[in-house]
Structure 1
């Protein structure tokens, strides 16, 4: 008779096809024990695929509606200065052109006969010409053409506005409204404005009027902060009216030709394919953030995968031993089980991928949260990416446990219990695991828009895994070495935590990761809202005033001191300028850091001063003398300068009102942006802009802060005496930003809920995996006289101690992660909101107790006799 070794030596190698047939045959028996495995994989893949699919749907929606949202094929924007005749002639030769102006102003109720001032509010004006809109339709209630609504009747031009204006001022259709120094008649309300998304975040209701009506007001005084928009619907023939849509290549070629023809124009150019570069970048980063949170859920689920594989190998020990007895080598057994696991993983990733792909089709629910057009569709790249992440994660967490199947002895056929001491799998399986992890990391970096964020995420995840593993080990060692309690229940509870084969590592790892993420996201969310609602400094301005003509500045300041004698007034001159070159290099060729790129995008506010502005402190260089009349000097914010690669003595050129001015960097300042005061990146020496038509920007700080009840009364009187000045309440601006942040927070909370659900699944799986051992212990204790109530107390103490220890780690690690993200990435002050952190810890403790008791409730009622007969 041949020995086992001889059988192995003479056995034919198992072909991959045969192994696949055996795996499929074995799986016909069902997926018992893989429920949590499937749920963990499907949940993580659904989160990743759903985020990617929704992002692609937003991009597709913007692309499909890009021409309507932008108002044409290409849009050119300038600040303050209108186009020259040659520029406008050039555009009109290439298609149909529409011109618009946008600015902020004040609207107030007016008596139709006397024009007496009433309540006032901030509005967002858009003045358009007769060609507007080039694409799409404006819908007005009551229904009427836009030209009719704007027409002048009885000496008064008409306007249409958002219904919010009617609510704020208590108006009705046909009522007079004073804007600037001119009286208008409200002719209708805006039901639909095709290009409203292109306007960005607004702080007041939209008001549409004709360009001619705007020019008849005092709002276009020199230095007024007005944005001029030129929308062009290109004609494929290059001239004449637009008859069809040009393709993207012709569009890009036209933009390149326009830049070459007018290199010094200073336009901000947007096309229908790239409506808002800043929005696209923000969407990309937010998608990356949510994808990483989804990947965290997947990695948390990986612990559940490992638990399931451990149970799978334990259940298959007789099968493994039989195959080995028949001559199958350990590598063939490993391959067979790996095929089975990956087939199940493929099923889980398909379920999760299809569920995530269906998210964009929930348009009615999603559209209420996102004010952007969504183009639902099936995106194979998003599905494939989610499935690849799921397969790799399952592979990483499966190879190690499956590698132990290689060394299951044939003796397992003859003994129910063999040596169960944990051992490392063979080096080849550790190598396979490392290769799979390297591939996953490489894919993350390859498709990451911000590799620094990816590196931080991977470092945090690896550190969390190692720390939690160490915490679990310390808990087990501590429970073994603690002095024995006099109370039997306490002694047994601690013994269960530190015993060999206890689920302590899995419980601590799964619950700790989920809780760390939950605490971190909760604190980030709380700090964002706290910064907007309660983080306003006590000395923050209550009101901002824009568009103060320089010859009115003294009278305006006197007015503020009279109306608010206890208020603090700050008045600063302001112009608009655009950085066009750095040390002779065009700004377009400079690669700034992501945090400072905004400084090179479009026009920015600049000022001049003879002393260091309030809220700033010099960190390098010296301020110029009070009576300095030499070549232009500039003071620059230190972090912006560093991000642009600039230092003391370097030179930058700005374009102000069409004139290019080169200045030397004389000093660098650190600016406290969080004080909500008047701060500028660039502050020039006063002689640089001598005679330039600058306007003034002012702030008023009232004793009651941003919510001072005097603000509305002051705004009303200001609109009456200075109709050309725009006032903005800081509280209104914070409310608008807070609403936008709240919409983003919904997505963050949803992803954190998925991560917590993954942790719950893993926790329940870890508890279920140890049920057989718990059953044996419970029966022995019952034979020795333990009652059900005593067993219940032991379980409560055991799970309560584990939950409390893990909750403490989660609070510390989550708070540390949140503080780093808030301070280093968001550049905000971090506040430890202990109520939220403790609430999250309480949830973790409750979950551990509930799941622990639910998982062992059947054990408490188990009778000893049937179990003892099977021993």
Structure 2
């Protein structure tokens, strides 16, 4: 008959001979996956979140790096830039530069902009030539030609101004301010500078004017903190020629003392900051992935539970345990591949989305690109995490007998997986550690993170086992609800380990961030102003120092005035070894990068104490000697008797270290990394630095009056109110803390997913309990009370651990890494812990409520 089925023994359609046949394990795994991904939602979410975080951070970092590299010439303003402090280039130095390309000059200094009765404000003055910008575009509103923007008319020069200055002094376009001794008309609002990144951080709004205006202002004085940058555009802009010009400059003018940058690395400080922050965010993503690994383990455990009948069937038909494990491991890794693909897609799209949404707001160039190397690293993290957390639950089924698989529902057998699976677990964890170390910018930080993460997992596991042991030994309560809650804490298949781990990591992270935030805020807004000076004054001409002291004394008769000479110098060598060849630790490398403030003194500065060697005597002070900060000295491997070579005013001075001293930097008094003996710089031109401390503390009205009087009487002196500087720093740190909170939110979201997954994994056991107990007469209210007690006990115990562990972690970070005072303000931490516990109890009861709604009859038929 045409419609009849062929006999079972009849051969089916023949497979083409040349068609490749998939391995049996893979074919079975793909066939089983046709049934869908039920139970793997948390598994996919955890992997996707962690991989997306790592891939997204890496992709954005690569896009920033590519943007800096591609626009290096615009950012730098040329192919090579030579920067000098205190002085302009000599005729010989200028001739050397002009022989190699077209030279444009930009000068930077801080100054006071005085607006008559409206007051005075600190500005970051940038003076440019008529050819500015040599690369890129200057954007102002209104858009004016350079000749119209900067031209001198009626005795006043023009300028473009940051909108912040207009708001601060209540000014509008067309108004005048006085900078130094020259009036300046504000002709346009400054919207964009092509070389803004290379200019560095400023504490005041930008005022962009001409070089002619700066020369007319009287701000160019011997020893003044003016920075002159000579930007060279090469006729041959090849990379090889750039490196050749730098080498020629070092060889021909070794004592010029200039800082040299090239378009190949236009802003090394910014690049290092990007690398450091990328590492931090990558570690946060790895935290999310490791937390998600708990969700992976829960999902795989539930998967094995659902497949118990299939496993029993396969083993009863003769399938070896290794084949069974291989089959389901293949399924799990295929599902993991899907989650990883989702995460990689999100991470790849992130820089393109940021560029599309915030292109006009980004302060740095972003060149969105697909970074295969970074995506491969993120994928490896995901696969290794999935393997490490899945192999344990899967490997346990290898040696369990068929009858044991069925009995596992109510009496799970306790045994370790076979050594081969433990070896796979060990190799996966070792590969994760190696990958984190190899890809880290700072391997010490990465190693600390790995050790801390391992310790946290071990401690949380210990807390869970301790809770279960305690619950097992406690006397049984008389009432049913507490007795059931206590039994649920330690019975076979209890949720205690999963909930403690996921909730504990989340609470620990929240508490750590809360205490770090409180310590930073306290340091910036409370501690420092109580001890710090009220005002700083820079560039005080030595000849006017006495007169300036008289002005401050008259304005604040009870104020404390401190004044020291100040110059800028660059460390060029330590013990004869060039600074460029020294691989300094990250926390000390900044001393060798760029110029530093230096001074000389006969007596030990306030806030310092000698820790090695001895302070110089009056006779010793006549010879060149230097005192070095002890912490930085130890980091750089320096000791008493070693030599430091410093370039000051174009001269290299090699000076022995007479002593090391500990400096209390946090009081914001006058102090320096290097303090020289008076004989070192006798007769050298310099300006003075002064501070004024008011005995009554901050007084905004008096401070504003002193600022205005100083600006009118001494136009070349730059005045800085400490409160304004702290607010600028606080704003930067606030944005950084906000970014850290946002990034850490990824790990917290992963914790919530894991918690939800842990509760979902216990669905079968809870359903069994509910059916039996409801049949025996238990009411929904009594069961909810029992589950609320169980989740509440777990949440409370985990919150206590999170508070202790988070406090210890915050203390280490604040005191050992940030080196600021630790503030034990538990108000925010307690709120965070309480919210986490509330979320845990809420999620648990929400899932339980759904379970309690099931009718017992359909399930009793299958028990």
TM-score by length of 1: 0.94
Q: Distance in 2 between matches of 1:587 and 1:414?
A: 70
596, 600, 613: which one aligns with 1:604: 596
1:699-719 deviation digits (Å, cap 9, x = unpaired): 111245356442112111111
**For 1:731-810, what aligned pairs fall within 5 Å after superposition?**
731-810=723-802
1:532-558 deviation digits (Å, cap 9, x = unpaired): 222315121111100001111111111
Q: Distance in 1 between matches of 2:408 and 2:681?
A: 91
Structure 1 residue 669: Cα displacement:
0.7
61, 66, 89: which one aligns with 2:67: 61
1:204-223 deviation digits (Å, cap 9, x = unpaired): 12112221221122101111
Secondary structure of 1:593's aligned partner: coil
Q: Distance in 1 between matches of 2:52 and 2:345?
A: 7
What corresponds to 1:333 in structure 2?
324
32, 35, 38: which one aligns with 1:26: 32
What corresponds to 1:185 in structure 2?
185
What corresponds to 2:217 in structure 1?
217
- The answer to whether the 8 Å contact 1:354/1:383 transfers is no
Structure 1 residue 682: Cα displacement:
0.6
* 1:417–1:656 CA distance, 2 compared to 1 (3 A): closer
Deviates more, 1:861-870 or 1:100-109: 861-870
1:585-611 deviation digits (Å, cap 9, x = unpaired): 222222221111111112211111111
691, 694, 703: which one aligns with 2:683: 691
* 1:68–1:707 CA distance, 2 compared to 1 (3 A): farther
Secondary structure of 1:697's aligned partner: strand
Deviates more, 1:361-370 or 1:827-836: 361-370
Is 1:127 aligned to residue 127 of structure 2?
Answer: yes
What corresponds to 1:7 in structure 2?
none
366, 380, 383: which one aligns with 2:375: 383
What corresponds to 1:70 in structure 2?
76
- The answer to whether the 8 Å contact 1:609/1:684 transfers is yes
What corresponds to 1:113 in structure 2?
none
What corresponds to 1:8 in structure 2?
none
What corresponds to 1:700 in structure 2?
692
- The answer to whether the 8 Å contact 1:706/1:730 transfers is no
* 1:602–1:324 CA distance, 2 compared to 1 (3 A): same
1:625-681 deviation digits (Å, cap 9, x = unpaired): 135354311111001111111101112121211222222211111111111111101
**For 1:439-838, what aligned pairs fall within 5 Å after superposition?**
439-706=431-698, 708-838=700-830
Q: Distance in 2 between matches of 1:564 and 1:589?
A: 49
Structure 1 residue 412: Cα displacement:
5.8
- The answer to whether the 8 Å contact 1:77/1:269 transfers is yes
Is 1:247 aligned to residue 238 of structure 2?
Answer: yes
Is 1:265 aligned to residue 256 of structure 2?
Answer: yes
* 1:512–1:370 CA distance, 2 compared to 1 (3 A): farther
- The answer to whether the 8 Å contact 2:103/2:231 transfers is yes
Q: Distance in 2 between matches of 1:417 and 1:445?
A: 42
Structure 1 residue 413: Cα displacement:
7.8
Deviates more, 1:625-634 or 1:643-652: 625-634
- The answer to whether the 8 Å contact 1:138/1:146 transfers is no
Is 1:307 aligned to residue 298 of structure 2?
Answer: yes
What corresponds to 2:341 in structure 1?
350
Deviates more, 1:189-198 or 1:573-582: 189-198
Q: Distance in 2 between matches of 1:528 and 1:170?
A: 32
Q: Distance in 2 between matches of 1:327 and 1:393?
A: 31
Q: Distance in 1 between matches of 2:473 and 2:587?
A: 51
Q: Distance in 1 between matches of 2:861 and 2:321?
A: 34
- Where does structure 1 lack aligned partners over 5 or more consecutive residues? 1-14, 111-116, 237-245
- The answer to whether the 8 Å contact 2:567/2:687 transfers is yes
- The answer to whether the 8 Å contact 1:706/1:729 transfers is no
Deviates more, 1:525-534 or 1:629-638: 525-534
Q: Distance in 2 between matches of 1:68 and 1:571?
A: 40
Structure 1 residue 369: Cα displacement:
7.4
Structure 1 residue 23: Cα displacement:
0.8
What corresponds to 1:10 in structure 2?
none
- The answer to whether the 8 Å contact 2:197/2:267 transfers is no
Secondary structure of 1:331's aligned partner: helix
Deviates more, 1:161-170 or 1:99-108: 161-170
* 1:28–1:701 CA distance, 2 compared to 1 (3 A): same
Structure 1 residue 446: Cα displacement:
0.9
261, 268, 276: which one aligns with 2:267: 276
Structure 1 residue 505: Cα displacement:
0.3
* 1:672–1:537 CA distance, 2 compared to 1 (3 A): farther
**Number of paired residues?**
842
- The answer to whether the 8 Å contact 2:308/2:406 transfers is no
What corresponds to 1:226 in structure 2?
226
46, 61, 64: which one aligns with 1:40: 46
Q: Distance in 2 between matches of 1:710 and 1:781?
A: 76
* 1:288–1:125 CA distance, 2 compared to 1 (3 A): same
Deviates more, 1:621-630 or 1:728-737: 621-630
Q: Distance in 1 between matches of 2:406 and 2:749?
A: 41
Structure 1 residue 45: Cα displacement:
0.5
Secondary structure of 1:300's aligned partner: helix
- Provide the alpha-carbon RMSD of the alignment: 1.8
* 1:432–1:366 CA distance, 2 compared to 1 (3 A): farther
What corresponds to 2:101 in structure 1?
95
* 1:425–1:205 CA distance, 2 compared to 1 (3 A): same
1:320-367 deviation digits (Å, cap 9, x = unpaired): 222222222111111111111111101100001111111112225555
Deviates more, 1:742-751 or 1:562-571: 742-751
**For 1:360-371, what aligned pairs fall within 5 Å after superposition?**
360-363=351-354, 365=357, 370-371=362-363
413, 425, 431: which one aligns with 1:421: 413
What corresponds to 1:863 in structure 2?
855
What corresponds to 1:171 in structure 2?
171
